[in-house]
Structures are given as C-alpha cells and as structure tokens.
Amino acid sequence: MSPDTLERVAAAGLDPARLPRHIAVIMDGNGRWAQQRGLPRIEGHRRGVHSVRGTIEECCRLGIGQLTLFCLSTENWKRPRHELDFLMSLLHRYLIAERAEIIEQNIRFTTIGRRDGLPDNVLREIDENVRVSQANTGMTLCLAINYSGRTELVDAARAIAERVKSGQVRPEDIDEATLSDALDTAAMPDPDLLIRTAGEMRVSNFLLWQISYAELWVTPKCWPEFDAAVLHQALHDFAKRERRFGGLKG
C-alpha cells in the first residue's frame, strides 16, 4: 500500500494486515427502500447508484484489491418489463458516466455473467470500459450482470466436457483448479468477505463456488443506505473473525 493509502486505512481505525483482498456485495433492498418511502421501486435503483459510486471510491481509498457487485441475476428477468427497461437504461448510463472515473482511479473494469439477453448498447459500453481499463493496475471492479452461480457452474462443466471430448484433458486429471479455471472468475481471487444488505440471510445463487470460505456479513440497511460508515463496520467485524479454512486454531 502507498503511504497515502496506509494513512487513510489508519484514519478509519483499520489494520491493513486484516483487510479483505476481495469484497463481494449482494446489493439488496433498492425496491424495499423506495416503497418504505412511498416512492416507485425505480427510485430505489436510481438512489442505489450513489451507493455503488461511494462504495467503489471508498474501496479504492482503502486499497482493496477487488470489489465484485451483484448487479443483475438471471432470476431478475422475471421482474416487470418497465422495471427491467429502467435497469438496462440505468446501467447503460452508468457505464458511460463512470468511464472517466474508472480511468482516473486506475480501476480495472470487468464483468461476469452471460452476455445473452443484454441489450447491444449495454454490451458496447461494457466492452469499451474493459478496453480502456485493461492496462490499469489499481482495484479490479467486477460487475456481475445477468449472473447465476448455478449457470456459471453448468457453463464450466460444459466447457470441461468439451475439453475431455477433444482429448485436451483426461477425466482423472480434473481437479478443483480445473473447475476454477473454467469459471467466469478464472484468475480472480476468491472473495474474503461477502456483504449482503437488507437483512436477508441467504446468498441468492451468487458466487457459489467462490465463497466457500468467505466471511458473511449482513446488515439490515437497504442498499441505498449503504455508505462508507457501514462499509467500515463490515471491515472492522471482518478483522475480528478467525479464519481457519477448515483447520484448527494454532
């Protein structure tokens, strides 16, 4: 970490040695937040963008290596058409609006999830953000869009099966590394910390393979209420956890 980053970490009362390398977030409660205030659900999504921006900025300030945000699940396509159209429009605008910040903050942008079903204009902006940031060396920002943990595992199994069929790999040589390398997240570190907002106690088909040993942290606050103070609380609690990865305390 740079001296400036270390200073910011210390100012937040955090130990740089106890920070997670990779934080994943299930951003839940946008619609609930809006309905509690008598607003349309789409206003919650609009307000949620501010929490996205603030969380990215704070993670960059603290030197977090990767932030993965669950933006849209494959199951979300069941929502009303007008809400989905708004979400796609909001995502399109966000990808364009944040491009300059991605470059300025030295963020490497990437996505996981199936491209099928996403509008062409969204795919173009995703690809452009990936292109302009591919040489950046700061935090990796990964957006999970049209993503499903089970679908990802199915796609990985199919890819490995094709390799077996073509003789590139023998069934007996398949191990955990083989599967990990076939996932959308290949070459990414597994999340150390999984944050979920809105108080729901489930992982909702998110990074099912990758979060095997992640620390789970749930807040009752809805995503539009998530800010740097809540993030710091999660990081403080994470630092107190004893991570044994199936072993015993030494």
Task: State the catalytic residues.
Answer: 28, 76
Answer for the pair 145, 71: CB distance below 8 angstroms, yes or no.
yes
Distance, C-alpha 150 to centroid of its chain:
16
Listed in sequence order, the residues at least 6 apart from 128 whose beta carbon sits closer than 8 Å to its beta carbon are 95, 99
Answer for the pair 62, 11: CB distance below 8 angstroms, yes or no.
no
Torsion of CA 238, 243, 245, 246, to 10 degrees: -120
Answer for the pair 30, 77: CB distance below 8 angstroms, yes or no.
no
DSSP code of residue 78: G
Distance CA 217, CA 204 (A): 14
